[in-house]
Amino acid sequence: MSDKGTKVKLVIGETIIPAVLNDSKPARALLAKLPYSVKLQRYEHDYCGVMSETLPYDAAELRSGWKNGDIAFAVNGNYFAILYKDEEISQQYDGMVTMGALDCSPSVMETLAGSISVSIEQD
């Protein structure tokens, strides 16, 4: 959790989850599109969905792994992902740019349905 960056909220039905987007190239591009909606599906470690448009990124921003609660752009398929668990084994996953993080406990994601629609809005 950080106070560096731009505060946003993830609106999922009646649930509002606070988050912060960083100053990475894809995060700045996403901020320019707000409000932005994307359909996500729950998987083993994350909620993930294909974005309608590709986000720009710099190769230097690509990372392996995540911290629980990270919001990331996975470049190998134009995925928006909220990574909420298993950071201890995450180094095996690469090709992601961290765009920000949830500003609350990542466990909130485990209370949501398997398939969700998220609206990312400026807070």
Q: What is the pLDDT of residue 107?
A: 96
Q: Which is more confident, 13 or 1?
A: 13
Is residue 82 predicted with pLDDT exceeding 90? yes
d(CA 44, CA 13): 22
d(CA 115, CA 122): 23
Q: Does residue 95 sit in helix, strand or coil?
A: coil
Task: Locate all alpha helices (DSSP H) within the chain, ordered by sequence.
Answer: 25-33
C-alpha dist (Å) from residue 34 to 18, 78, 119, 120: 15, 17, 9, 6
C-alpha dist (Å) from residue 102 to 7, 77, 87: 10, 22, 14
14-40 tens-digit pLDDT: 999 999 999 999 999 999 999 999 999
Average pLDDT over residues 100-119: 97
85-99 tens-digit pLDDT: 999 999 999 999 999
pTM value surpassing 0.85: yes
